């Protein structure tokens, strides 16, 4: 039986909706485009074209992976973030749109985007935060640090993928330990899920993101304690620190930064209204 492109897309959407996927329409579209090598424009102009059976079978194999709650980004092997496109691997957290709140807050806090700033990203993962900032700061350069060699490899690939390899360097390390350089900006999206809450996370997160990038210890604040203690020695005088935080953690993290001697520089909400980013400034 011949199936048209329109019918194929609607069948994929129905299967994902049945499986309880939050965004079946969007996910089906992305999978159709990927499996069949089509553009969004093609989905409309070729809606009534018949789809060869092997192509349909290839799509439905991907749809079943998504129905089993594998994230679309993992299936495609890459994800868009800010203005860049990032490849993923099993050692990296899949970037979320919420993290763009940190990028936006840092950019707004910088008085001169053309300055030759030095940036540090602790727990860099895919490199998403550092690379998004570098894409907006033409004369800046940066270092990303991650405990995982696999994450460092992914971030290095992503720098090249987005034309930023000359201004971004990545290395393995335990947060900021052993770094002698001082930076104008220090950013991080550390693990912040309380250990007891991991089991209740959506399967897309619990089963596909690395546990190391999720588990923040008993109260979710273990990494922040380390980063807050290290940050005064990593920042230039008057430098900016920006941390992504979990829901309900902003006040505690702001307190940790203040206790380390940083001046408060604002708390910023994501599009869902959650306090998602805490900024602090080093003393001058």
Binding residue numbers for substrate: 189-192
Cite the beta strand spans of 182-234 per DSSP E: 183-188
Give the residue ranges of the annotated binding site. Answer: 123-127, 146, 175, 189-192
Binding site for S-adenosyl-L-methionine: which residues?
123-127, 146, 175, 189
Q: Are strands 235-244 and 263-269 parallel, antiparallel or unpaired?
A: unpaired
198 vs 246: CA distance, rounded Å: 13
> Are the C-beta atoms of residues 188 and 243 closer than 8 Å to each other?
yes
Q: Which long-range contacts link 210-213 to residues 24+ away (Cβ below 8 Å)?
A: 210/90, 210/91, 210/92, 210/93, 210/148, 212/147, 212/148, 213/92, 213/93, 213/123, 213/125
Q: Which residues contact 273 (CB under 8 A, 6 or more apart)?
A: none
Say how far apart CA 38 and CA 269 lie, in whole Å: 36
């Amino acid at each position: 039986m011949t199936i048209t492109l329109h019918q194929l897309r609607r069948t994929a959407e129905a299967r994902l909706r049945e499986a309880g996927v939050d965004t079946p329409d969007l996910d089906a579209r992305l999978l159709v485009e990927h499996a069949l090598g089509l553009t969004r424009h093609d989905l409309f102009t070729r809606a009534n074209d018949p789809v060869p059976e092997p192509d349909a079978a290839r799509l439905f194999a991907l749809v079943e992976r998504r129905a089993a709650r594998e994230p679309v980004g993992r299936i495609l092997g890459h994800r868009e973030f800010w203005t860049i496109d990032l490849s993923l691997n099993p050692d990296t957290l899949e970037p979320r749109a919420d993290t763009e709140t940190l990028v936006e807050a840092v950019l707004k806090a910088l008085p001169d985007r053309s300055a030759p700033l030095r940036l540090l990203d602790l727990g860099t993962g895919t490199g998403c935060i550092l690379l998004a900032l570098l894409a907006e700061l033409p004369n800046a350069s940066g270092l990303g640090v991650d405990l995982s060699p696999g994450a460092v490899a992914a971030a290095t690939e992503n720098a090249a993928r987005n034309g930023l390899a000359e201004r971004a360097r990545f290395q393995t390390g335990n947060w900021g330990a052993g770094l002698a350089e001082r930076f104008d900006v220090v950013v991080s999206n550390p693990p912040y899920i309380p250990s007891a809450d991991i089991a209740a996370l959506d399967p897309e997160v619990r089963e596909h993101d690395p546990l190391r990038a999720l588990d923040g210890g008993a109260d979710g604040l273990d990494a922040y304690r380390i980063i807050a203690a290290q940050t005064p020695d990593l920042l230039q005088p008057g430098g900016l620190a920006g941390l992504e935080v979990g829901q309900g953690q902003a006040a505690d993290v702001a307190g940790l930064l203040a206790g380390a001697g940083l001046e408060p520089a604002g708390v910023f909400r994501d599009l869902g209204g959650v306090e998602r980013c805490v900024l602090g400034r080093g003393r001058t």
